[in-house]
Amino acid sequence: MRNFIKRYRAALVLLALNIFILIVFPVIGRKSMELTFYNAKEMLMVIPPIFILLGLLDVWVKRETMIKLMGEKSGVTGVVIAFLMGSAAAGPLYAAFPIAGMLLKKGSRLSNVLIFIGAWSTTKIPLLLFEASAMGWKFMVTRFLINLVGIGVIALIIERLLGSEEKAEIYEKAAAAN
């Protein structure tokens, strides 16, 4: 029981806060509960398919293959694969983090994982198409190119700024989480 409380203390505090608001301010509390249940339902619709895909990735893709394609010596190939994976992805950004953890566990280079997360958050293909129709192709292409350069530069800077012990800790935590 103690481990349960420790593990879920943030969620339990938010639940208690929601109940308190419901009692003290019923109108606001009902709206808060509605939003909480809506967000929980939305997450429950996204998370199970992600975990199924993670399981398949874990079983189907060998560590050696991932190291070859996205590891330390993957070069431009790893960058392109990471960028395409992130851009082709569907779903909210929080769905990218379990996949990023799996990529780290399988031996992907840290900068490639950061590129994957950056691409997922800013260069999704449906977003680009919507942006082109709403804002124009010139705007979309300009923002895409800026993001393309920015994502790569930020990923490389972060990788270079981290020491070998910090990188090792990141890889250890990724291996322990999955």
Please tell me the predicted confidence (pLDDT) of residue 59: 84
Backbone angles phi, psi at 117, to 5 degrees: -65, -40
Please tell me the predicted confidence (pLDDT) of residue 178: 58
Please tell me the predicted confidence (pLDDT) of residue 94: 87
- Same-domain check for residues 91 and 120: yes
- Same-domain check for residues 101 and 166: yes
Q: Which of 60, 79, 101 is the last residue of a domain?
A: 60
- Same-domain check for residues 121 and 169: yes
Structure tokens at 45: 């619709």
What pTM does this model have? 0.79
- Same-domain check for residues 51 and 122: no
- Same-domain check for residues 80 and 114: yes
Distance between CA atoms of 44 and 27, rounded to whole angstroms? 26
- Same-domain check for residues 1 and 81: no
Please tell me the predicted confidence (pLDDT) of residue 19: 93
The residue segments making up the domain with residue 133 are 62-178
Distance between CA atoms of 133 and 15, rounded to whole angstroms? 41
pLDDT tens across 125-138, in order? 888 899 999 999 99
- Same-domain check for residues 94 and 55: no
CA dihedral 100, 104, 107, 110 (to 10 degrees): 90
- Same-domain check for residues 116 and 153: yes
Q: How many domains does the chain have?
A: 2
Q: Which of 18, 35, 60 is the last residue of a domain?
A: 60
- Same-domain check for residues 40 and 108: no
Please tell me the predicted confidence (pLDDT) of residue 44: 86
Structure tokens at 10: 């943030």
Q: Which of 19, 36, 60 is the last residue of a domain?
A: 60
- Same-domain check for residues 69 and 55: no
Low-confidence stretches of the chain (pLDDT beneath 50): none
- Same-domain check for residues 41 and 79: no
**What count of other Cβ atoms lies within 10 Å of the Cβ of residue 11?**
9
pLDDT tens across 101-125, in order? 999 999 999 999 999 999 999 998 8
- Same-domain check for residues 130 and 55: no
Distance between CA atoms of 178 and 160, rounded to whole angstroms? 25
